[in-house]
Amino acid sequence: MALGMHDVTGGGKPAAPPVPGLARVPRTICGDFHMRIARDGSWYYQGSPITRRALVCLFASVLKREEDGSYWLETPVERGRIEVEDVPFVAVELNWGHCCSGGGGACEGDAAGKRRARQCLTFRTNLDEMVTADESHPIRVEVDPVTREPRPYVTVRPGLEARISRPVFYELVALAQTEVVDGREVTGVWSEGVFFVIDDSPPEELDAEDPLASLDDEVA
C-alpha cells in the first residue's frame, strides 16, 4: 500500500513530498490495497482502524467506482482496489432551507419576473462533505418488497453514495408530501425543484403502518 503515505493507521509520519519538476510516471496497478470501509463509514487498513481523519479525507478524495461496482483509490501514479461493505459515506445531518430559481437578486416570492424560493435539502456526510439533493445528486430508497424495510441513499459524487442515517431519514419523512407520479400517489420530498420518491406505498398503507418501523438498526 503506497499512495505516498506511511503507516496509514495513525502512527508514523507522512512520506516526504514529491520533488517538483519530476516527470509523471505511468499509473501503477497495485491490486488489492487491503483497505475496507465499514457500513458505519469507518475506514480500516489490514484490519486496523485508520484514526487520522485528515488521512481518511485524503483517501476519500481519490475514491472512484467502476461500472462493475468495484471501488478503487486512484492517484496520478497508482491505483488499487478497496472493499466497501455498503456505500462509502454516511449522511449524518440534514439542512433544510430555500434556494432560488430564475435570474439574479434575492428570492421575492411568486410575482412575475421575480426569483421564486424552493426547497433545498443539503446533507452533511460523516467526512463533512456537503451535498444538496438535485438531478445530479439524487435521493433513492431501496425498499424490501416483503418487509418494507427502507434503505435510503443520496449521491455524493458520480458513482459514490452516502447512506442516509436513521435520524436524518426521520427528518426526510417529516418533510415528505404526496404527489402523483405515473398515475400513482407516492410519498416523497422536493429539493432543487426535483421530486424524490421515498415510499411508493398506497396512502392507506402509510396510514396503517409507520414506514420507518422496520428500518434497519444499522442505519442509525
Q: 65-88: per-residue pLDDT in tens?
A: 999 999 999 988 889 999 999 999
| pLDDT over threshold 80, residue 155 | yes
CA distance 72 to 59: 10
Residue 123: CB atoms within 10 A of its CB come to 26
At 83, which helix (H) or strand (E)? strand 78-84
The strand pair at 160-164 and 89-101 is best described as parallel
- Give bridge partners of residue 139 from the DSSP assignment: 154
Q: Extract the C-alpha cell encoding 57.
A: 479525507
pTM: 0.75
Q: pLDDT digits over 102-127, tens only?
A: 544 456 554 444 555 689 999 999 99
Residues recorded for the chain:
220
